[in-house]
């Protein structure tokens, strides 16, 4: 049996982070959780992730700053980043894309929009 | 996570939102919204909306979306934090609390949602950038840089960055937002609070970043990911060297500072205090700090300060913290601490207890009671032994 792929779930609010991680684990991945971009960057150094699902509004380092920081580092060139937020304004989607995010989920994260995003990114068949 | 647990989370979040709304209501009178409160209100409204979204309770989600959108505009300086907005926010919290308890008033929720929509439409219509007023302690060096930038025609901006209060010093001092501001073409003048002074009673706090630039807010905000607003900054200059001028040991008339934004209370307090010393009167938190510092620099610090808790621009409790800090920096906390009396229109035990912890000598509840007033005055008058 091959080792499960690892996904980082990043959100400062436990009530969003925990259910997101549960959904992702149910789809056959390992998960780790971070409460903001700074913690996320530390975890990226330690573990090998295929993707990060990140909130936008977080303290200290928000989702946009996180994407910008990750995309500056060539070591993470293949890391997929999905922005998850309730801010469904088009300018946020455009900003996330221009910074190098690979996908976008409008919260709440459900099995449906998660599976759709993962299929789009070829994380699921 | 069960729906039941999520409901508890929602109720907690609504409670936090209600607290900050009440705090904002106390501190914001005509034009005096506190940008830090707006940032935190936005955060809780955002979380509460997300929580209702997860439970797929669309009607509540829509209500909070309206409120969140207004707060989002407000924190970007595109809308005013009016009394109407705070009132509507409090009504929303009330309705949602009732909803969570099973008392569903669909009609009221829909009506309030429409109210937010119309606020949003009219704020988009006027679309005017609001200027804010802000104030925090500044070193002499930073004050020099600020003055020089302003002389060259630069505008001053405030960026309010939410931070996790458990952040390490190293991370705090090298947040990515600093590099982003610089690359956007703005110059960082000072930040507040320093790492050692972060208020760790909550899990999140606001880092204020004062910057200057000849660019417009719009030009800068394309490259930073937090709201940035133009600000009128009133510096509180922290003197690095202890003041050499000694406070006079000669008996002199007591000096009194009255900080009160509301006209009737101001006149009444001045009338009552006039026989007891020389009174200076100011109307908001930043002016109180400036006045306090000027009195020290004149070698004649205030003996008594009557400080309103509800104040525009900088609330009384925060102002009190700054006053005590200024005294400490100058060694006045031992030599000549001012006696501070907090005044408040609300008999609000939480605020009053908070003020005691932060070092005031007493409090007066408005309308002022002559007996209580005499009692307090007897306790704090400089010629009294205690």
pLDDT at site A98: 92
B188 DSSP β-pair partners: B211
- Kindly state the tokens that stand for A28: 């056959």
CB contact under 8 A, A57 and B43: yes
Q: Which residue of A has its CA nearest to B2?
A: A19
- Tens digits of residue pLDDT in A27-77: 999 999 999 999 999 999 999 999 999 999 899 999 999 999 999 999 999
Closest to A102 measured CA to CA, from A26, A49, A59, A60: A49
Let me know: does B288 contact B343? Beta carbons within 8 Å.
no
Chain A residue numbers touching B204 (CB-CB < 8 A): 12, 59
- Tens digits of residue pLDDT in B176-231: 999 999 999 999 999 988 898 888 877 888 899 999 999 998 899 888 888 888 88
Chain B residue numbers touching A95 (CB-CB < 8 A): 225
Q: Describe the crossing of helices B3-27 and B35-54 by its angle, rounded to 10 degrees.
A: 160
pLDDT at site B127: 55
pTM for this model (two decimals): 0.70
Q: Which residue of A has its CA nearest to B206?
A: A59
Let me know: does B184 contact B211? Beta carbons within 8 Å.
no
User: CA B122, CA B113: separation in Å to the nearest integer?
Assistant: 14
Which three-class secondary structure state does DSSP give residue B248?
coil
Q: Using CB atoms, which residue from A14, A60, A108 is nearest to B163? A: A60
- Tens digits of residue pLDDT in B236-258: 765 544 333 444 445 578 899 99
- C-alpha separations of B81 from B34, B72, B76, B119 in Å: 9, 11, 11, 11
Q: Using CB atoms, which residue from A38, A65, A86 is nearest to B50? A: A86
Return phi, psi of residue A76, to 5°: -105, 25
Instruction: Find tokens 């409901």 and name the residue.
Output: B7
pLDDT at site B29: 53
Let me know: does A32 contact A5? Beta carbons within 8 Å.
no
pLDDT at site B244: 37
pLDDT at site B322: 87
- Shortest Cα distance from B284 to chain A (angstroms)? 30
pLDDT band at B22 (very low <50, low <70, confident <90, very high): confident
User: Which residues, in sequence order, are CB contacts of B327 under 8 Å at separation 6+?
Assistant: B333, B337, B338
User: Which residues, in sequence order, are CB contacts of B242 under 8 Å at separation 6+?
Assistant: B329, B330, B331
Q: Is B1 a residue whose pLDDT tops 60? A: no
Let me know: does B157 contact B195? Beta carbons within 8 Å.
no
pLDDT band at B32 (very low <50, low <70, confident <90, very high): low
């Amino acid at each position: 049996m091959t080792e499960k792929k690892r996904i980082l779930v990043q959100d400062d609010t436990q009530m969003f982070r925990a259910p997101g991680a549960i959904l992702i684990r149910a789809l056959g991945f390992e998960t780790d959780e971070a409460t903001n971009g700074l913690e996320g960057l530390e975890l990226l150094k330690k573990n090998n992730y295929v993707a990060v699902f990140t909130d936008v509004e977080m303290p200290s380092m928000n989702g946009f700053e996180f994407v910008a920081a990750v995309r500056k580092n060539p070591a993470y060139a293949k890391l997929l980043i999905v922005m998850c937020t309730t801010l469904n304004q088009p300018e946020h989607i455009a900003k996330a894309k221009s910074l190098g995010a690979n996908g976008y989920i409008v919260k709440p994260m459900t099995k449906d929009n998660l599976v759709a995003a993962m299929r789009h990114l070829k994380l699921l068949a | 996570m069960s729906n039941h647990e999520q409901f508890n989370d929602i109720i907690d979040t609504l409670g936090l939102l209600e607290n900050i709304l009440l705090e904002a209501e106390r501190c914001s009178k005509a034009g005096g919204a506190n940008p830090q409160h707006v940032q935190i209100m936005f955060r809780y409204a955002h979380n509460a909306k997300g929580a209702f979204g997860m439970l797929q309770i669309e009607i509540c989600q829509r209500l909070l979306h309206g409120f969140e959108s207004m707060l989002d505009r407000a924190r970007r300086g595109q809308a005013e934090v009016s009394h109407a907005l705070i009132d509507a926010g409090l009504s929303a919290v009330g309705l949602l609390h009732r909803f969570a308890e099973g008392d569903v008033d669909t009609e009221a929720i829909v009506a309030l949602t429409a109210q937010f929509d119309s606020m949003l439409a009219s704020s988009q219509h006027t679309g005017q950038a609001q200027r804010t007023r802000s104030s925090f302690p500044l070193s002499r060096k930073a004050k020099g840089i600020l003055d020089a930038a302003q002389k060259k025609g630069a505008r001053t901006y405030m960026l309010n960055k939410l931070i996790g209060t458990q952040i390490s010093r190293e991370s705090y001092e090298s947040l990515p937002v600093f590099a982003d501001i610089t690359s956007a073409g703005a110059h960082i003048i000072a930040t507040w609070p320093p790492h050692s002074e972060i208020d760790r009673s909550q899990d999140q706090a606001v880092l204020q970043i004062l910057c200057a630039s000849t660019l417009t807010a719009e030009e800068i905000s394309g490259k930073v990911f937090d709201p940035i607003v133009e600000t009128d900054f009133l510096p509180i200059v922290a003197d690095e060297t202890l003041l050499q001028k000694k406070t006079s040991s000669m008996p002199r008339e007591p000096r009194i500072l009255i900080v009160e934004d509301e006209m009737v209370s101001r006149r009444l307090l001045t009338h009552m205090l006039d026989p007891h010393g020389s009174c200076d009167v100011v109307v908001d938190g930043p002016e109180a700090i400036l006045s306090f510092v000027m009195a020290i620099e004149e070698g004649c610090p205030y003996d008594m300060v009557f400080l309103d808790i509800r104040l525009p621009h900088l609330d009384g409790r925060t102002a009190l913290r700054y006053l005590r800090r200024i005294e400490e920096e100058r060694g006045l906390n031992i030599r000549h601490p001012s006696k501070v009396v907090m005044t408040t229109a609300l008999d609000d035990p939480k605020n009053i207890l908070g003020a005691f912890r932060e070092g005031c000598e007493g409090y007066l509840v408005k309308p002022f009671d002559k007996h209580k007033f005499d009692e307090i005055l007897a306790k704090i008058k400089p010629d009294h032994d205690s």
